Structure 1
């Protein structure tokens, strides 16, 4: 592998999260280099210039005001999850710093009044007039105990969601917050996939994504007056979802504010238009064997769309798309340094788990190689995340070194209906883990995988699964690489970290309550915890952890490492002082993957 290709695969995506200006003439996007993240603007003539540098920080949630005069976004120190709201006047490039007493979790812009922004800080709602430079933001509503606020297109508070002691939640609506009434009650298992999509332009309907009363995650509308629930779109087997860069699988007509297209995903993305006009517009975007076209943004007059072509063996490409003609014009790539390189593709992987449940995922084998091959099982996080048909830079890097990778949507993964997701409840270290072992066994039987050279790699829940494979099945998992990994389910269930407190009841049920309602006791949870299954026979382990991680306490990982070292288990521990739950900086990723390469070479020994 050339040095240039190595650097390109290890670096973060260079150009990401573009957003189209309301007039369709400009695109703002995030550019990442070795120094960190920057905000850039691309004009209609193709020229680009930097708007702001946020080195050592992360940027997210870019939005234009209705007239395109102001750009707002959130940023935070890399690894932290304490977001502040900032912005920029596009004419003068004057920075706007919106004061807050705490992290800004959400913000809303008025559909027509481009001068108004409403945001949450310490749970209260704050209103700022961006047109008046001397006006001070004011608190317009104290939080009456909401977990999330509901704010309409006029930037008016209309209610919120409230969690109850048993873990269920109510959606409350009312023009007078003091008299807001419950219009929907969600059971504990329905809370996790609730997503507020916003109000209709007249404020009379609230659109939600939810599994409430359904077998899949669907789009519903709630009448704010009568509380009547209407299904806008529902797929029989699959949840509404999309690629993370494009939202959650619902798009709204920017002229009317009405939903007009939804997407679902099995092995590939599928569009479902909600009007005949949209059916014609999205027809050119149907997935092909080479790419999936995904809508990112739409201009205010809906004449220009920003789309991205997702590929599995090359950089994704952003295009300007004309929905009337179906023609697209290339703009730029997310990883321009990868253009022209020959890279392997993903292959569909289907199998049946040991208990008879059909499962799916993907595999990637090195170019021009036949099995059986040394293999890395790349376990996705969540666990209610999922693997998608897309470009995996980490898997491409491993393929360049000669490793096949497996990407499994084990039970509990999202996207495949509520029964499939809930079948993972109480199965941390149980059937979810067995699904991974079964995938390896099937791949061995098909001549794809060398059963003597298998590693597990993952972050967050994926890191937990990798560690458990090392400690519970060292006969199969010959080494494990775990990033930001929970190590002790007993302590997690008894005393979740503060980050998880709002949803602690739901998380406890996911971890410790089986499908028949029985609760796992501490001894059973210990048998599913890497720190308690650790033994002298555990296979070698590489751990990486960001000191700023709010989700997995540093002390928990330190304790695991100390115990492993005392037992004589081969363990290497990388601690990153400037990272959080994920390793983000290019410099740290280079350190991490150099260690991964050396670790795999030592313990899987490609011959």
Structure 2
């Protein structure tokens, strides 16, 4: 018997959004060590243990203010590396920890600098190539970094290029530069000299779906993910000497999504496509046998996150979809799976709901791949949250989603739509969104809401729109351009003014500005500027008649705090209620779990106020975070009381 939604136990926010017990499991290239992320005094740090004794873990880092979210092994397995910024400013520096001594060093010790990874090597294992923008914030110079001595050697000063690609000898082989058409030009590099003319080029339509994907170890083959002269991006192998290209994989519905390459040779062994769900195809028979064996052992989705250099052991993640994700150590020779960890063991037995895959038709006939999760026991229309992804050049995927589970548990249907402009479905799907911010991109979302109402899933008068980044923009667009469709909205770090958004992009995004102008609108032309003004929710703020909650990081380099300040100011000036929560130590999203939990506590009580769903009390979550309530505590159930606690 299905448990009715109103008697389903509430899943605590902490269980969904607090620190995982463990995450990011890897195995060292030499197969001797396991590593993972886990809390140390409440902050995610990097841990390590011998592969034969996973319980003997010790913390290798000691971050105290901001969780470490990205780390990796040095190719020679002598050190662990991680990148970290300060307060969400996205000026990521590279740090290294010697695994024998435990000594930690800042490997890129510069101010206002963001490191980019260019390449590592199978044969030169104590060095990597990195990019640094410490000379010119717009452009990354290429440096060779000795991981053991810390010595940096300039390889290529960059005066014009968006990036570089290197081979296994850590020699630069290709420079990539934006062109006036909004695409990219690819310049061969021979003996350290960048060619004057490009060997390959893309226009705007192929700019997000065509790029080189690396070399084989011997440098004889360069792989491409390429949509030129086709719609979806296929995988090609190009003979470097002759230029001959061989098609390896294609799919008529989705772009090439992932690739497994041989750890020693770099040759492609398997590839994946993701339309509604992910499907892997093996080229190498031994890899195919391993993937087939894993598929028989594991329920739901799975993938390989780390491999030893001899390829005998893999770290495998498994998403059972309605249970917490598991991570295993897979011994390919012994054909054994050994438990490594359960990421969130507190979710074992929780009332998690299955995600459904959908295809929704937009009004012009475009098919929108989508995902739906409904509350337990829902057999009639219920309130719904339209959860809009960021980017917009990104996508929603199938699988466990903490926001879907949280909101469904609170009594809402949750719908995520890959609206036009989303990536992974071919270049035509992306191009259908060019110059359509606030127009056809928004129409897709409205069409999805109509579908959910017509299908008896959603109550027409109780639909919220919520999202971060572009999803935040979509929320503001929903409440300004279609004010009668949504009952309320939650905007997280969303731009309100496209004109000021483009004027304040991070300097290292400047090489891409032509593409932004072609896809969003060019403020340097009268027509483009007029369109950007028209599509900016700020200029229609007076149309807002439904409740709005805004969350913003003060250090956000992509969507400046001014984007939220502007629309809050406009709403106050017109006497329109708004709730605004600011985090002084966050950037483009909320990395600190205490801050994320606090904002979600405000969000679920805001939704309960205006949609009627269930909620945990706010309690001490807000006072235990860095949240600053700038405006409108009275519009959220229990928030004023929580601020007094």
Instruction: Work out whether the TM-score is over 0.5.
Output: yes
1:262-304 alpha-carbon deviations (Å, 9 max, x no partner): 0111221101112333332222345999511111121111111
Q: 1:571 aligns with which of 554, 565, 578?
A: 578
Q: Which residue of 1 aligns with 2:114?
A: 103
* Distance apart, 1:363 and its partner CA: 1.1
* Distance apart, 1:466 and its partner CA: 0.9
* Distance apart, 1:214 and its partner CA: 2.9
* Distance apart, 1:240 and its partner CA: 1.3
1:512-565 alpha-carbon deviations (Å, 9 max, x no partner): 39xxxx996444433322112222553111001001100112112211100011
CA 1:140–1:536: 2 relative to 1, 3 Å: closer
* Distance apart, 1:497 and its partner CA: 5.4
TM-score computed with the length of structure 2 as normaliser: 0.86
Separation of aligned partners in 1, 2:40 and 2:430: 37
Q: Which residue of 2 aligns with 1:118?
A: 129
Q: Which residue of 2 aligns with 1:462?
A: 471
Specify the SS of the correspondent of 2:193.
helix
Q: Which residue of 2 aligns with 1:256?
A: 265
Specify the SS of the correspondent of 2:198.
strand
* Distance apart, 1:413 and its partner CA: 1.3
Separation of aligned partners in 1, 2:194 and 2:543: 61
Separation of aligned partners in 2, 1:495 and 1:53: 34
Specify the SS of the correspondent of 2:371.
strand
Residue 402, structure 1, aligned to residue 411, structure 2 = yes
Aligned residues: 594
Q: 2:202 aligns with which of 186, 194, 207?
A: 186
* Distance apart, 1:78 and its partner CA: 3.8
Report if the CA contact (8 A) 1:463-1:485 is conserved: yes
Report if the CA contact (8 A) 1:497-1:553 is conserved: no
* Distance apart, 1:87 and its partner CA: 1.1
1:462-503 alpha-carbon deviations (Å, 9 max, x no partner): 011111111122211111000010111244456755454221
Q: 2:175 aligns with which of 157, 160, 163?
A: 160
Q: 1:370 aligns with which of 368, 371, 379?
A: 379
Separation of aligned partners in 2, 1:287 and 1:58: 36
Q: Which residue of 2 aligns with 1:558?
A: 565
Separation of aligned partners in 1, 2:296 and 2:488: 37
Separation of aligned partners in 2, 1:335 and 1:537: 39
Q: Which residue of 2 aligns with 1:246?
A: none
Residue 215, structure 1, aligned to residue 222, structure 2 = no
TM-score computed with the length of structure 1 as normaliser: 0.91
CA RMSD of aligned residues (A): 2.6
Q: Which residue of 1 aligns with 2:356?
A: 347
Separation of aligned partners in 1, 2:450 and 2:9: 34
Specify the SS of the correspondent of 1:525.
helix
Residue 603, structure 1, aligned to residue 610, structure 2 = yes
Q: Which residue of 2 aligns with 1:49?
A: 58
Q: Which residue of 1 aligns with 2:316?
A: 307
Residue 265, structure 1, aligned to residue 281, structure 2 = no
Q: Which residue of 1 aligns with 2:144?
A: 127
Unaligned runs of 5+ in 2: 1-7, 134-139, 615-645
Q: Report matched runs for 1:122-521 at 5 Å.
A: 122=133, 123-131=140-148, 133=149, 136-180=151-195, 182-241=198-257, 249-286=258-295, 290-323=299-332, 327-492=336-501, 496=505, 498=507, 500-512=509-521, 521=528
Which shows bigger deviation, 12-21 or 555-564? Answer: 12-21
Report if the CA contact (8 A) 1:413-1:420 is conserved: yes
Which shows bigger deviation, 222-231 or 576-585? Answer: 222-231
CA 1:495–1:55: 2 relative to 1, 3 Å: closer
Which shows bigger deviation, 158-167 or 59-68? Answer: 59-68
Report if the CA contact (8 A) 1:109-1:117 is conserved: yes
1:129-151 alpha-carbon deviations (Å, 9 max, x no partner): 344x4x73222332252211122
Unaligned runs of 5+ in 1: 242-248
